[in-house]
Amino acid sequence: MRFPTFLHVATEGWILIVVVVAAAGLGWWQSVAPLWIAAAAILTVALLAYFREPDRRIPPVPLGVLAPVDGRVVHRRECHDPFLDREAVRVGIELNRFGSYYLRAPIEGTLLEIRRSVQCPQAGQASWIQTDEKDDVVIFLAEGSMLGERPCLTPFGQRLGQGRRCGRRRLARRIDLYLPSESRVEVQIGDKVTAGSDLIATFVHNSPQA
C-alpha cells in the first residue's frame, strides 16, 4: 500500500490546507478583518508541520526493531502480551505531535491478522508483523485515536519493508511495541527516537549447540 506525499507533506493533509488557504483568500477578497487572515495563515503553517513527512535514512539492521513513530520512550517493561498470549517486552513511545505523520514498519515481515476475542477486545487497535525467522512484533495504539484505522494498513498476508511507511498516526498519542521476551532493548526511558531510523531493540537468537 502506497502512502504518497507532495513537498514532504502527506497527501491527505493538503485537502485541509487547500480549504484553509481558500477560506483565507475568500476573506481577503471580502475585506474581512486582518485578524482572520492572520489566523488562517497560522493554521496553514500548523497543518504543514502536522502533516509533514520527511525522508528518512533506513539503517541496514536485519535483526533490529526500528522506531515506528517520532517521539519519546516513556516506558519499557516485561509483561504479558494479550494479543499473542505470550511473555513479552513492552516499549511505549509518546508521539511527537509535529513529528513524522506516517507510521513506519519496525521490522521486515508479513502482516498477520489478530483475531478479536473476549480476552483481546482491542485487536482492532493493533497490528502484528512476523519476520521470516518467526520473530513477532505487535504495534498497539495505547492512547489516542487513529479514527478507526489500525496501525498498519497493508492488507493481511502482504509483506512490509523495514522502515517503510505502513499507516497514519492520525490522533494517536502513544504507541506500544510488544517484542519477544528475549529481545535486547536498546533505548532508555526518556530517549527521543526517530521513525524508521532509530533502533529500539534487537532480536536475540540462541545459536544452536554443536
Mean local confidence (pLDDT), 136-140: 98
The edge-to-edge listing of strands for the beta sheet with 171-180 is 159-160, 109-112, 126-130, 136-145, 171-180, 86-95, 71-81, 192-193
pLDDT at 129: 98
**Whether pLDDT at 8 is above 80:** yes
Lowest mean pLDDT among 16-25, 138-147, 154-163, 183-192: 16-25
What is the number of other CB atoms lying within 10 angstroms of the CB of residue 104? 26
Give the DSSP H/E element, type plus range, for residue 39: helix 34-50
pLDDT at 98: 92
Mean local confidence (pLDDT), 96-106: 95
Record the pTM.
0.90
The edge-to-edge listing of strands for the beta sheet with 64-66 is 64-66, 199-202, 184-185
Mean local confidence (pLDDT), 3-19: 91
pLDDT at 156: 96
Q: What is the mean pLDDT of the chain?
A: 91
Mean local confidence (pLDDT), 187-191: 98
pLDDT at 210: 44
What is the number of other CB atoms lying within 10 angstroms of the CB of residue 145? 12
pLDDT at 207: 62
47, 17 contact by CB (below 8 A): yes
Mean local confidence (pLDDT), 191-195: 98
Mean local confidence (pLDDT), 190-200: 97
- For 64, phi then psi, to 5°, come to -95, 155
pLDDT in tens, 35-86: 777 888 899 999 999 999 999 999 999 999 999 999 999 999 999 999 999 9
- Per-residue confidence band for 200, with pLDDT thresholds at 50, 70 and 90: very high
